[in-house]
Structure 1
Amino acid sequence: MKTLHFDCFAGISGDMALGALVDLGLDTDILRAELRKLPIKGWNLEFHREQRGGIVGIQGIVDLGEQRDHIAHDHGHEHHHGSPEHHHVGHDGGSGTHQGGHHSWKEIRALIENSPLTPGAKTRALDIFTRIARAEAEVHGVPEEDITFHEVGALDSIIDIVGCAICLDMIKPDRITCGEVELGSGTVTCAHGVLPVPAPATLILCRGMPVKTGGFPKEMTTPTGAAILAATVDEFTTAGSFREIKTGYGIGTRRMERPNLLRVSLREEADVPPHGDWRIEELVLLEANIDDMSGEALGFLMETLFAAGALDVTFTPVVMKKSRPGTIISVLCPPKKLDTLRELMFKKSATIGFRETEVRRLSLRREEDTLEGEWGAFRRKTVFYGEKPLRSKLEYDDRARIAREQGLSLEEAEERILTGLPKRKEEAAHGG
């Protein structure tokens, strides 16, 4: 199982999360191209190799030049409103202020919803912003729809949040974990005065997380950073058996006595039960009968559910009352994703209710590796029964690429690829 782990020993902020994810080896040109799908102008995203405490990582910087942030609206002018949100001292050092103006939650939500971002990135970005809006609404005692952001509404913070959502969609981990989160200590200067760390919104967003304070004399976890964790982490844990694949570091601007770093790890977890043959999970199955959604709408719903953490989504054709053709939507999910998927079923599908059943899933362990062949790199997934390789399969996208390039059928492309690929040590030993 491919797991992404956040190690927030020095806290987390949006820019540090973005830098750490990029340091895993993501293509920054693809990231910028995806971000340019947002109708915002006057920005440039730069990444620099920096060092803190002898450790090298990536520092992400949104350069606005001399321009103020600008969101392109259909009616052709900018909106700048008063903000009920406190203005936090930034985790990335300096003056602690983010560049840009004020944007309402309605504006930011419309900006993301109407963009051509991938469904996965769009869902994650909206989830992060929604959590911040709810926290701010609770702090200030106002309706969620009336929230106007200041810090997180600035252009650079929009880039940080949406950029992280895009990165996570590019990585596509099977699950995301996190250890104990450092919040810092001291005070933070807000629009409403000086308040103790953690800031009010951060404290709300960190509910249910294992946190600690006092490790640093500054604010180390910002509302943006806390919201990223709240929206994406499946489990807060430091235990586990895994194989480290790649490690990335996000660099904070502020120089401190202790390294101001965020570490992320891409891991292959050895999630094998005691008997060693298969994995057992306690999951929830959501099912709804629907007869008034088009095929396109159902397809979009499937993408949205997968992006929000569904483990499996299937459609089964049925005949419903009055002999109308319909579809059973079946969604398999871990308990921690249940509320998010319930909300999507009610909001994104035509159902007015669905059934829930607790189920047990047994599955074999699988690993993914990349091999170099005559026509480039190919991803291969191998299924194991206990510790013994059972069968392997090449990734469809790689087979399809060669089939198109060479004018072959999918089966012919796979046969030719396999003849030029090295065998696993286990396969060679058994003559397979």
Structure 2
Amino acid sequence: MNILFIDCGISGIAGDMSLAAFTELGVDLSAVENKLKTVIQEDFSLSAKKVVKKGIASTELVIHTEEEKHSHRHYTHIKKAIEESGLEDAEKETALKMFEAIGLAESQIHNSTLEKVHFHEVGGVDSMIDIIGTAIAYHALNIEKVVCSPVAAGNGYIKIAHGLYPVPAPATLEILKNIPLRETDVQSELTTPTGAAIVRTLANEFGNMPSMKVQKIGYGAGTKDFITHPNVVRFVMGKE
């Protein structure tokens, strides 16, 4: 059995970090980009660069797009784009589950409905790439089981479209309901709504690294730098 262990107990998880980690496990980023272009009509391109985070060599995802960061799209727009795309059925299903997790959280917070949810922070091309790209990468590796560590979500405050919000952001915390969180003193957002949705959708169980023969290890880097720890998520692939 192919097992993926998501280690997000130190610096949380975000969509770009996830896709970057998958590339270190052997996923072809150009193949992911080609599939994404059947979903996303706006011009964009992807690349990956090697970085070192507090001594750990890792990969950072670089998205090139002319679209303004955090552009707005409705859940229904994104859903339609995925359903009418050239993705395989399993890829569509996983991507839709991720966006649905975010949409349900947003509708709960804003007292709205899934159909009327207007995405702010996760409605842009960059977030669509992170989420849908991660779904594509996940299915490329024939993973049969996903175990995730308790999630480091972060502390403090973050400025978003609606104003100054506590960390974890309300949407992130809503998505992470009934998922074990790890205490941290870091005053920053570590896990984003996209990262939370990825964990919510992919993980079969939560806990320590399972018994397995490790085959590949991937480190996906975030853009922030911290004094206390490397800002990376670690993906570990192995056989049961």
Structure 1 length as normaliser, TM-score? Answer: 0.54
Could you say what secondary structure the match of 2:138 adopts? helix
1:7 aligns with 2:13: no
Distance in 2 (alpha carbons) for counterparts of 1:196 and 1:130:
23
1:50 aligns with 2:20: no
Distance in 2 (alpha carbons) for counterparts of 1:130 and 1:4:
23
Give 1:61's aligned amino acid. Answer: V
The 5 Å alignment of 1:10-159 reads: 10-64=11-65, 67-68=66-67, 99-159=69-129
Shift of 1:41: 2.1
Shift of 1:190: 2.7
Question: How many pairs does the alignment contain?
Answer: 238
**Is the 1:105–1:146 contact (alpha carbons within 8 Å) kept by the matching residues of 2?**
yes
Could you say what secondary structure the match of 2:139 adopts? helix
Shift of 1:217: 1.5
Structure 2 length as normaliser, TM-score? Answer: 0.95
- Seen in structure 2, the aligned counterparts of structure 1 residues 188 and 100 have a Cα distance that, compared at 3 Å, is closer
- Long gaps (5+) in structure 2: none
Could you say what secondary structure the match of 1:249 adopts? strand
Residue matched to 1:233: 203
Distance in 1 (alpha carbons) for counterparts of 2:185 and 2:220:
18
Residue matched to 1:214: 184
Give 1:43's aligned amino acid. Answer: F
Structure index of larger Rg: 1
**Is the 1:178–1:236 contact (alpha carbons within 8 Å) kept by the matching residues of 2?**
yes
Could you say what secondary structure the match of 2:12 adopts? coil
Task: Single out whichever of 188-197 and 105-114 deviates more from structure 2.
Answer: 188-197
Residue matched to 2:232: 261
Equivalent in 192, 196, 209 of residue 166 of structure 2: 196
Give 2:17's aligned amino acid. Answer: M
Distance in 2 (alpha carbons) for counterparts of 1:177 and 1:228:
12
Deviation track 1:149-196 (CA, whole Å, cap 9, x = no partner) reads 111110110011010000001012111110111011111113333222
Give 1:210's aligned amino acid. Answer: P
Could you say what secondary structure the match of 2:194 adopts? helix
Deviation track 1:2-26 (CA, whole Å, cap 9, x = no partner) reads 1011000210001001101111111
Could you say what secondary structure the match of 1:41 adopts? coil
- Long gaps (5+) in structure 1: 70-98, 270-432
Distance in 1 (alpha carbons) for counterparts of 2:166 and 2:70:
25
**Is the 2:50–2:57 contact (alpha carbons within 8 Å) kept by the matching residues of 1?**
yes
Deviation track 1:190-236 (CA, whole Å, cap 9, x = no partner) reads 33332221111111111111102334220100011000000110011
Q: For the aligned residues, what is the CA RMSD?
A: 1.2
Give 2:16's aligned amino acid. Answer: D
